[in-house]
Amino acid sequence: MTIISAEGERPNAYTIVETADEAKSASKPLVPLALASEIEVPAIPYGLLVPNDAPVDEIAQHFSSVDLIAVTFPAFADGRGFSLAKRLRREGFEGTLRASGPLIADQFADALACGFDEVDLPDTMANRQPVQQWLEMKDSMTVHYQTGFGEGQSILQQRLAARKEAAQ
Amino acid sequence: MYRYDEFDERFVRERVDQFRTQIARRLDGSLSEDEFKPLRLKNGLYLQLHAYMLRIAVPYGTMSGRQLRQLAKIAREYDKGYGHFTTRQNLQFNWPKLKDIPAILDLLADVEMHAIQTSGNCIRNTTADQFSGVAADESEDPRPTAELLRQWSSQHPEFVWLPRKFKIAVTGAEHDRAAIKVHDIGLKLKRNEAGEPGYEISVGGGLGRTPMIGKVIREFLPKDELLAYVEAIMRVYNAEGRRDNKFKARVKILVHETGAEEFTRRVEDEYAKLDGPTINAPQEEIERIAAYFAAPDYEDLPAESVTLDSARREDAGLDRFVEQNGFAHKQPGYIAFTVSLKPVGGVPGDMSADQMDAFADIAEKYSLGELRVTHSQNLVLPYVKKDDVPALYTELKAHGLATANAGLVTDIIACPGLDYCALATAKSIPIAQEIAKTFADDARQKEIGELPIKISGCINACGHHHVGAIGILGLEKGGRENYQITIGGDATEHASLGERLGPGIDGEDVPGAIEAIVETYLGEKQGSESFIETVRRVGADPFKTRFASFVEERSKALEAAE
Ligand code: SF4
């Protein structure tokens, strides 16, 4: 796997676990949501692996004990993860949000704008679309219309600011 | 009309460059064909039966003469000298080459146009009443809303990977010419009891395999809350719309399966949670956009034009053109016109590059440089002075654009069908041509009156046959093309879906069947009733009976011939 953030490739600290035993022995386990609801994970804070159709309320119960939530993308064209990320941020999750799956570089900017911090890419994908491509595609658009998405000001906000400045 | 500012300009230019990079990354293997496909679709590029097709957005159907001239240039230099207007108020080029696409997109950007999100599983071009701003029955102009939505939906970070395509339409008039009830979201501008502006919002209308009429989920939404509310609808749909079956992925199915009440509850729930003020457009922005659509500087004119009245008495063709294609204008002394792209025997919606150039000149000379595209594949001149009509008519006639059939039996909507479309199961354009020839006689058309016929070449229903007063659906049966006929469909504020008359018939029998249906109507008609009004009053039964005997006569005739 390759982890890509807005700044470039990042090391991965988390190991996916499948059983309670594995969860106990791993230093930084990435625990599937179903398992996390059943057992006490000792290594707090840990990572939570959630399917893209998981109810937000269910995930939110674990907020206090996790520092990373990985949302799975079964396919790049399945956009549910974007809405889930948006909702998790709204519910107050402040840790790392990871998009896990075969996303394409062309989705990077959108993923970041919806609240993700990083993408966990299968190696086959990372070979075809190396980190450099992700960083280039991220910056292919410098303006966006939607307020409340991404870091910079939206076009609507920039217009408003320009108007105020002109009025002074 | 709206003009790009520096931000709109930069957005569209960067998007063209982005697509250029994507094509290059497809060619060098970074992107697989499966990955590239949705990217090209979201830039308007389809792979058709014989070639690529580029679909260009005409936002809410509004265009300037300058833009149309640019389309003529593209048609001439990069296509086969013509373009095709679609039922979504867009324009398609059927023969561009992949390598030319970025250059074409540059030419479009030069005149503030683009092909963004004219295809793919995203929010498509928002459509509106083609008579926006000029219709006498309009209470509020829908174009500022449509433009706001165009901007907001363009490359929305969260909503470009939806379960399926998503279409929004807006109307501000009593009579719904934007077919809002058969859209994923239909917006009707209205005022509440206190007189404040807002919207009635319906969701879940649509045609295709499972046609449905939209349900009202909000009786009144204050105008300035629009974007946040639409975001709530989109989020519920994006998260919960079905992704296991593409034929069940439209929001209409979600609304249907969860029930309108429960769906409404989920949207309202989401709406209550999100932070509206951070999403909605500031009042200044709404006003900035609306200012572009302020009424033009009309001249003070008498309501009636002596020049036009006397010219009409002398020229029967002009008289008929004004009667059939003229449209009542808000402003005294002005009139709007539907310019039919349905000459008898022509391809519905096609326009040659020469016609485009000529029409651009005409729009500049007679209609303040502006024209509209209708969802029935015609054009509109919105701002014509009545005094100018005789001269306008002469020029239109010279370019084969004065067909006086707006709304009549020969003004047929037809999807591209088997002539172009990879999904088609039957021809649709040739069927339209045959019907038009059958009813070519002007007096006969006039006697029949308003009768919208709509034809689709497969169950995807791009020709909107479900809402045709007469709908024709081309299927394939035992290796032959087979056509199902419905009647009683309506896309207006009386929205209803057509009812099938009987078994499917051969393509060559379609004109005869339409004649039988029309005869039935003329026999049943009371007073000045239109076709659809008669169908609503008497129901489908008399038509079914007549259709059944038509089918029987035809099969007897066939047997005798064998
Ligand atoms: S209705 Fe079918 S044949 Fe016609 S354009 Fe749509 S997909 Fe193609």
Q: Is the pLDDT of residue B22 over 90?
A: yes
Per-residue pLDDT tens digits for B297-329:
999 999 999 999 999 999 999 999 999 999 999
For A159, the closest of B158, B273, B285 (CB atoms) is B285
For the domain that residue B174 is a member of, what is the CATH number? 3.30.413.10
Q: DSSP string of B267-323?
A: HHHHHHHS-HHHHSPPHHHHHHHHHTTSPP------SS-HHHHHHHHH-HHHHHHHH
User: How much is the mean pLDDT over chain B?
Assistant: 95
Mean pLDDT for the stretch of residues B277-283: 91
- Residue B296 has a pLDDT of 94
Q: Of all atoms in ligand 1, which is nearest to the CA of residue B424?
A: 3
Contact B235 A143 (CB under 8 A): no
Residues B377 and B459 both lie in one domain? no
**Is B481 in the same domain as B546?**
yes
Classify B363 as helix, strand or coil. Answer: helix
Indicate if ipTM > 0.90: yes
Residues 6+ apart with CB under 8 A from A140: A109, B14, B17, B18, B21
Ligand 1 mutation target, pool B458, B466, B476, most atoms within 8 A of CB: B458
Position A82 scores a pLDDT of 98
* Residue B286 sits in the same domain as residue B165: yes
Would residue B82 count as lying in a domain? yes
- Confirm or reject contact between A148 and chain B (CB < 8 A): yes
The reported pLDDT for the residue numbered A45 is 93
CA B462 to chain centroid, in Å, comes to 10
Mean pLDDT, rounded, for B99-124? 95
The total domain count for chain B is 4
Confidence of residue A150 (pLDDT cuts 50, 70, 90): confident
Using CB atoms, pick whichever of B121, B151, B157 lies closest to residue A110.
B157
What lies within 8 Å, CB to CB, of A51 at 6+ separation is: A33, A71, A72
pLDDT attached to residue B277: 87
Q: What is the best residue among B415, B419, B428 to mutate for testing ligand 1's pocket, by most ligand atoms within 8 Å of CB? A: B415
Output the pLDDT for position A167. 85
Split at pLDDT 50, 70, 90, the class of B47 is: confident
Q: What is the reported pLDDT for A100?
A: 98
- B435 and B553 part of one domain: yes
pLDDT beyond 90 at A101:
yes
> Where residue A49 sits, what CATH number does that domain have?
3.20.20.70
Separation of alpha carbons B333 and B385, rounded Å? 6
Q: What is the mean pLDDT of residues A20-33?
A: 92
Q: What pLDDT, on a 0 to 100 scale, did the predictor assign at position B51?
A: 79
Residue identifier of the C-alpha nearest atom 6 of ligand 1: B462
Domains held by chain A: number: 2
Tell me which amino acid residue B552 is: E
Tell me the mean pLDDT in the region B463-488.
95
Residue of A159, A163, A164, A165 to mutate, interface with B, max B Cβ within 10 Å: A159
Q: Which of residues 55-84 of A touch B (CB under 8 A)?
A: 76-80, 82-84
Residue A53 has pLDDT above 90, yes or no: yes
What pLDDT is recorded for position A42? Answer: 79
Q: Are residues A125 and A168 in the same domain?
A: no
Query: Sorting pLDDT into bands at 50, 70 and 90, what band is B89?
Result: confident
- For residues B29 and B75, membership in a common domain is answered with yes
Query: Do residue A21 and residue A39 come from a single domain?
Result: yes
Cβ atoms of residues B113 and B70 within 8 Å: yes
Indicate whether A73 and A58 sit together in one domain.
yes
CA angle B263, B264, B266 (to 5 degrees): 65
- Of A104, A113, A140, nearest to B35 by CB-CB distance is A104
pLDDT class of B29 with cuts at 50, 70, 90: very high
pLDDT, residue B375, reads 86
pLDDT for position B34: 95
Is residue B346, in this structure, part of any structural domain at all?
yes
Looking at the fold, whether A84 and A108 belong to one and the same domain comes out as: yes
Same domain for B151 and B252: yes
Is residue B361 pLDDT above 80, yes or no?
yes
DSSP B45-78: EEE-SSSEEEEEB-GGGEEEHHHHHHHHHHHHHH
pLDDT at B276: 87
**A99/A152 same-domain check:** no
Q: Which domain range does residue A116 map to?
A: 2-137
Does A129 contact B at CB distance below 8 Å?
yes
B246/A80 Cα distance (integer angstroms): 15
pLDDT of res. B250? 96
Query: Is the Cβ atom of B417 under 6 angstroms away from ligand 1?
Result: yes
Beta strand residue intervals within chain A, DSSP E:
2-5, 8-10, 15-16, 29-32, 46-50, 66-72, 96-100, 118-121
Task: State the average pLDDT for chain A.
Answer: 94
Same domain, A13 and A52: yes
Q: State the pLDDT at residue B99.
A: 87
Q: What is the pLDDT of residue B18?
A: 96
Question: Does the structure show a pLDDT above 80 at B49?
Answer: no
Q: Which residue has the tokens 């290059």?
A: B24
Domain with residue B386: its CATH number is 3.90.480.20
Please indicate, yes or no, whether residues A146 and A90 belong to a single structural domain of this protein: no
Give the pLDDT score at B557. 86
How many cross-chain Cβ pairs, A to B, lie less than 8 Å apart?
120
- On whether both B170 and B264 belong to a single domain, the answer is yes
What is the reported pLDDT for B422?
Answer: 87
Q: Is A140 on the interface with B (CB under 8 A)?
A: yes
> What range does the domain containing B392 cover?
306-398
